[in-house]
Structure 1
Amino acid sequence: MSMNNSKQMEKIPLSILDLAPILEGGTAEDAFRNTLDLAQHAEQWGYHRYWLAEHHNMPGIASAATSILISHVAQGTSTMRIGSGGIMLPNHAPLIIAEQFGTLASLYPNRIDLGLGRAPGTDQRTAYALRRGDLTNGDDFPEQLKELRSYFNPELAEGRLAVRAVPGEGLDIPIWLLGSSGFSARLAAEHGLPFAFASHFSPENTLPALDLYYNQFTPSQVLQEPYAMVVANVVAADTEEEANFLSSSLELQFLNLIRNTPSKLQPPVENIKELSSDYEKTILKKQFGSAIVGTADNVREQLQTFLSDTGASEMMIHSQIYNHKARLRSFEIVANAMQINR
């Protein structure tokens, strides 16, 4: 199996990854209001799924209680798939996640996705606070995944299950594996599961991981052929100048992460290059050299190139834009450029 370079953007689903950004001068309450507003617009514009990510101890990200926020968004929408991008499974007992997503799938039938990651989504000290000392490096993620899947489908368990997930057991909840390297790509291929790659913060690993997934994929009851989704940083605006200006908020966010001073999402600035050292510029270029920034035509061309390079079956858009109206406009431009509402 190799990458299919003939796919066209109009033929594949387009989805959204939302980190529920908390803005400088704003609150988590504002973030949740903006998230729901974006999701409702995205549904009208034809986006396929809307995922929220688990992060902890991050001043600028409000989606720590991911399952609760998924319910909030699902309740305020009606057709779009809502899910996790992802739940960081090492932070949780698999039974808890089976029950939470069993509840979500029972409240919103045939609309819930369960994307799983093996990173903590935070720093080591916060991971300790979450897990109370049961710290792992993610090596037991395959065992955790097996346990979680067996709660939904007891036939996957070795022997009779002593504990059952209620609600959860018997429900068909799509499980995705998320990754920024080859580990989850191999695991997704081994189990015949869909795979989502975090190209938005690990661009250099995108093609090697996808190549592993495509070439090692084993058909399963879930999928007969590989299904890969890639996540791209996209900032679209009506002019190139505005798009470049708006994108500086995303760069500032990562600049603060580099400096170990995570913060709320900052307003855009004109002089982002003047605010960073040469070393920081090098890291930013490595992280964001693949960011897609521009007008509709430019964004469409770059997304099509990205699709041709990756052979993905679906693409997910991530946009950290300070001004909510500008953020809405960015996703609207992308939707129109890709002709997804057809």
Structure 2
Amino acid sequence: MESATVQEHRARPPETTGSSPYPAARSLLGKYSLVVVLVVVSTGFAIADPLVFATLANARTIASTNATIALLALAAMLPLAVGQFDISVGFQFGLAQGLCAGLIVNEGLPAGAAIAVVLLAGLLIGTVNGLLVARLGLNSFIATLAVGILVLGTTQWYTGDLTINGAMPDWFLKAGRVQLAGIPLPFVYVLVAAAVLWLALEFTTWGRQVHAAGGNAKAAQLAGVPVARVTVQAFAGTGVLCAVAGVLSVSILGASSPVVGLGALLPAFAGAFLGATSIRPGRYNALGTVIAVYVVAIGITGLRQHGALNYVEQYFYGLALLVAVSLARLTSNRPT
């Protein structure tokens, strides 16, 4: 009969004394990899071109001009968190921009009322997307693509496929152009939106339900999670964020463009997917999404300032999306 000492030795887990600290370091690096990339890329371009890139004016320009893309990336992230796609984000953005400018310039509606109408329209479109996916059981890719095409047609009808510009209230334009303590207001809006989504997704019951639905909808349903409801809510949130991005774009530019939404889809999804590789690797999260958007934005800006042609931007976004999907696949236990 074996002694108690021998049995205790066999049951004891392997000794960890002297174990390598590298696994913890790798985990930390993986968590903050995008932050490291952000610092490295920024430092590299600043050293290469200190008179142009390494200026406060350049930093403010990057922060402001990419705010709408950051909001759209956050919008795209919400359905991804519940395991769905919303392909209509770019089209919703285009409609929100055209509708906002048209209501103010062409219809003479007060800017505050125009903003309210645009936000309600975004909420309506997002809710319709959610109901089609969650209640009717339609494939999210196909359903939101169809809705997006309808939205695009509505935008073309309302705007006449023309740029809309004209007199707008001073306070409305300042909301997208002035600074708060030296920080462009559009970037402040992004930080506020990211903070709200981070708190909601990481520290509330609703956020846990969202991630549970995204991880395994059937298991979450059996566990009592209202999967259909949180899915509709996620899509509705996407519609509101797209509307906010459209309003902000008009405030910054003082006009709308009939083609602005067509090129917004790829940057938005690149940011959302790439963001899932950092801060909370394997999980779509707001902070990682915003960091990812500005990593790509800084890279594109630096290359342009060194004479890169416009098509380089498409290569950059395409490669970023491929890298993001690959890394998200490796760091997550569920399909991306």
TM exceeding 0.5:
no
> Which structure carries more helix by proportion?
2
Structure ranking higher in strand proportion: 1
Larger Rg: 2
Q: Specify which structure has the bigger relative contact order, considering alpha-carbon pairs within 8 angstroms and separated by 6 or more residues.
A: 2
